[in-house]
Amino acid sequence: KQEVTQIPAALSVPEGENLVLNCSFTDSAIYNLQWFRQDPGKGLTSLLLIQSSQREQTSGRLNASLDKSSGRSTLYIAASQPGDSATYLCAVRPSLGSGTYKYIFGTGTRLKVLA
Amino acid sequence: GVTQSPTHLIKTRGQQVTLRCSSQSGHNTVSWYQQALGQGPQFIFQYYRKEENGRGNFPPRFSGLQFPNDSSELNVNALELDDSALYLCASSLGMNTEAFFGQGTRLTVV
């Protein structure tokens, strides 16, 4: 059974700092992995999608990497800003034939960037 | 985008509730997730071309419908206190393509 874990559960950093959020998953048979942002009480905003054949994706100050064999992904945020404060969720889609239709989510990392 | 209604709802234990979702235009797939406070979203089910395509570990009192006009419903019967959560709808063009989430409906069961 696929399980997704995110460490740390919460993180507080001063503005301008570069930071790394971690995501690990127990089954390497994934279709893709996606990082989302969630503001309190709101829906999910997609940040980056990495297909199983890819190693990384970049968008602006965000860079996500994927190491499928070790069951790990990291989200790197450069030059953090107070507006980056939110919960960051990692989700995997299982491989074809194993329930690719669903996302399996971690419990998230709650990030606070201090001005 | 994906829109959900209502944004907040309070129901009494034992009642029934219907949550609504309007998918992104042209999307033929809708998925529903339940997110308890402090947890990641949990998959409830997915509808592809109006048929249930997959289901998570939720009892039959959770049911859904998908309509021709890009709208869908999540129905929950015999509400329990543990059903209190944020319910998220996600639409996509295909069963395993990138999904786009709505803002959610906050359901409180008292």
Chain-centre distance for alpha carbon B70 = 14
Residue A87 structure tokens: 């919960």
Convert the pLDDT of each residue in A8-67 to its tens digit: 999 999 999 999 999 999 999 999 999 999 999 899 999 999 999 999 999 999 999 999
The CA distance from A17 to the nearest CA of chain B, in Å, is 25
Supply the pLDDT for residue B4. Answer: 97
Q: Which of residues 6-25 of A touch B (CB under 8 A)?
A: none
User: Taking CB atoms and an 8 Å cutoff, what residues of chain B touch A96?
Assistant: 96
Q: Which of A44, A47, A89 to mutate to test the interface with B (most CBs of B within 10 A)?
A: A44
What does the alpha-carbon distance between residue A44 and residue A80 come to, in Å, rounded to a whole number?
20
Contacts of B39 (CB under 8 A, 6+ apart): A107
Supply the pLDDT for residue B26. Answer: 86
Partner residue opposite B31 with nearest CB, options A36, A89, A102: A102
Residue A101 pLDDT exceeds 90:
no
User: Taking CB atoms and an 8 Å cutoff, what residues of chain B touch A94?
Assistant: none
Do the chains contact at A100 and B95, CB–CB below 8 Å? yes
Do the chains contact at A105 and B103, CB–CB below 8 Å? no
Task: List per-residue pLDDT tens for chain B, 110 residues long.
Answer: 999 999 999 999 999 999 999 998 888 899 999 999 999 999 999 998 889 989 999 999 999 999 988 789 999 999 999 999 999 999 988 877 888 999 999 999 99
Supply the pLDDT for residue A100. Answer: 81
Do the chains contact at A105 and B41, CB–CB below 8 Å? yes
Supply the pLDDT for residue A77. Answer: 98
DSSP secondary structure string for all residues of chain B: --EEE-SEEEE-TT--EEEEEEPPTT--EEEEEEE-TTS--EEEEEEETTEEEEE-S--TTEEEEE-TTSEEEEEE-S--GGG-EEEEEEEESSSSSPPEE---EEEEE-
Supply the pLDDT for residue B70. Answer: 78
